[in-house]
Amino acid sequence: MQRARQIILSADERVTETIKWSTPTFIYKGNILSFTPTKAGVGLMFHRGAEIPGRHSRLEGDGKLVRTMRFSDVADLEAGRKHIEKVIVAWCNWRDSAPKK
Interatomic CA distance for residues 40 and 96, integer angstroms = 35
Q: What phi, psi does 58 have (nearest 5°)?
A: -85, -15
User: How much of the chain, in percent, has pLDDT values that exceed 70?
Assistant: 99
> How confident is the model over 43-51, as a mean pLDDT?
97
- Are 43 and 33 contacting, i.e. CB atoms less than 8 angstroms apart? no
Query: Which residues constitute the domain of residue 56?
Result: 2-97
pLDDT tens track for 55-96: 999 999 999 999 999 999 999 999 999 999 999 999 999 999
On whether the CB atoms of residues 81 and 74 are closer than 8 A, the answer is no
Nearest partner of 7 among 54, 95, 93, 77, judged by Cα: 77
Domain count, the chain: 1
pLDDT at 39: 82
CATH code at position 51: 3.90.1150
- Helix (DSSP H) and strand (DSSP E) numbers for the chain: 3, 5
CA distance 60 to 37: 15
Residue 101 has pLDDT above 80, yes or no: no
CB atoms within 10 A of CB 83: 15
